[in-house]
Structure 1
Amino acid sequence: MPVSAEGSALRALRVLEAVGAPGGPHRLGRIAREAGVTKPSTHRILQGLAEAGYVVSDGDGTYGPGPRAYALSAQFSPTQHGEPVLRRLRDETGQTVHVALRSGTRAVYVRKLDSDRPYRMASRVGGQIPLHCTAIGKAVLAHLAPAERAALLAETGLPPRTARTRTDPALLEAELAEIRSLGYAVDDEENEETVRCVAAPLLDPGGRPVGGVSVSALTFQLPEDELLAHVPRLLEAARLLAPAYT
């Protein structure tokens, strides 16, 4: 008997719930058992969810929640995923705060807290950003294994987004080395004109970057030195937030 669209949707939701169960990431067999779905069907559903960014896998046979799942969760339950930490960072800096998680060759915004300034950032939860020219993206790139970083950049290239985007691989690699040393990255109008950001990576227990947290300001509202003065607060926020996203 054919499975109805409603039945397929419910199965996909059960699989997603099983992926997000405590103790993850989980293997296919456990996800299938928890969801009450056959292994072949679970595998097909997981592939679709991974392509859409709701599930991630490191290729080791385990699956965990993806950036779009975190974004959806934050919309329904904003007190989770380090919300007090983000609010404190926003309030202490007076600037817009973002969290973005890596999804393949890009990152996806999963949380945004606007400042109370009269101008608003165009960014939105669920929006995708490149890695080579954003503060969060460069914080991620800097902490990837060299071979993984090289393969990713070979796939995406370094397309210019503004006149300030770094398009020379050697210059970008030198900047990434500095980011690893400093612990934070800066996007100085490299992705959007008049927007400057500083970001720190969110690292899992093994030191792998899953995303980052940033403080963003419009250049005509906040000079660079004043933005960089918030780096200690940013680094502390990243340390506290990492367990919520890894």
Structure 2
Amino acid sequence: MADPQKTAPPRRGGRSSEGGSAITKMLRVLEEVAGNEPRKLADIATAAGVTKPSVHRILAELTELGYAVADGAGSYSAGPRLRALAAEVADGTAAASIDQLLTALQRQVGQTVHLALRNGDHAVYTQKVESDQPYQMASRVGMRLPLHCTAIGKSVLAHLPADELAAVLASTGLPGRTPATITTPEHLARELAAVRERGYAIDDEENETTIRCIGVPVLDASGTAIGGISVSTVKFLVTAEQLAGFAPALRATADQIALLLR
């Protein structure tokens, strides 16, 4: 019988050169993007012991599914679904606690409440608490939302480093969704400065006509915006001034959710 130590394939960095089965490769790559710091594809491949072409395919799938996020500059980090999963593993009550916080906020403001987490150049709704008003928002859990014309999205963009913001806008552009959408870089820059100054973002029919939203960021331990929460309503029910009045309650809820997602 052949000596298994003599016939085993060579190992690279403590792992087989082929990286193992497809599932093993995926899990190794997932482990490498699970940290808070973005990592280059080449670094992930080296650490995981998986070839660059395989890592590229795996990361494309993980990004599409929301388990990884591409920053537009060649680096990857944990995506919203991976963060949510980690929170549930670390604390089995985390998801339920987030639901309770969002439900309490909805009861306080009387309008529809959303939580969305950033995934690359867009965000994804992960939770929604519908209002008891005689209408329903078209949004749904799992829906992607653009960043430049939504309250949650602008809250995220306002907290990005300049180079990362530029990469996102280069990827998406500033397409007009309604007549009120911001479509020039100069106008968006002024808007994001205002968001940083007042601590919240407003979407006044910029993504959907008749819909107004207020949003605040959800920040991780380093101060990076990983997503945001919003209150959405129709313009004939809530004035812009009333909407702005929801900001303190939103901020308090976002801070509590941030702690659960860390």
Where on the TM-score scale, by shorter chain, does this alignment land: which range? 0.7 to 0.9
Instruction: Answer yes or no: is 1:80 the counterpart of 2:96.
Output: yes
For the residues of structure 2 that align with 1:219 and 1:209, how far apart are their CA atoms?
27
The residue that corresponds to 2:136 in the other structure is: 120
Count of aligned pairs between the two proteins: 231
CA RMSD of aligned residues (A): 3.4
Whichever of the two has the greater Rg, that structure is 2
For the residues of structure 1 that align with 2:144 and 2:135, how far apart are their CA atoms?
21
For the residues of structure 2 that align with 1:87 and 1:158, how far apart are their CA atoms?
33
For the residues of structure 2 that align with 1:160 and 1:60, how far apart are their CA atoms?
27
Structure 1 residue runs of 5 or longer lacking an equivalent are 1-6, 33-37
Tell me: CA distance 1:108–1:16, structure 2 relative to 1, closer, same or farther (3 Å). Answer: farther
TM-score by length of 2: 0.74
Cα displacement (A) at 1:52: 2.8
Partners of 2:63 and 2:119 within 8 A in 1: no
The residue that corresponds to 1:99 in the other structure is: 115
The residue that corresponds to 1:161 in the other structure is: 177
Q: How does 1:1-246 map to 2 (within 5 A)?
A: 24=35, 39-40=50-51, 43=55, 45-56=58-69, 63-64=77-78, 66-69=79-82, 79-80=95-96, 82-246=98-262
Partners of 2:70 and 2:119 within 8 A in 1: no
SS in 2 for 1:222: coil
Tell me: CA distance 1:19–1:220, structure 2 relative to 1, closer, same or farther (3 Å). Answer: farther
Partners of 1:135 and 1:185 within 8 A in 2: yes
For the residues of structure 1 that align with 2:236 and 2:25, how far apart are their CA atoms?
46
Tell me: CA distance 1:143–1:62, structure 2 relative to 1, closer, same or farther (3 Å). Answer: closer
Tell me: CA distance 1:113–1:155, structure 2 relative to 1, closer, same or farther (3 Å). Answer: same
Structure 2 residue runs of 5 or longer lacking an equivalent are 1-20
Per-residue CA deviation, residues 181-204 of structure 1 (Å, 9 max, x unaligned), is: 111000000000111000000111
For the residues of structure 1 that align with 2:25 and 2:68, how far apart are their CA atoms?
11
SS in 1 for 2:96: coil
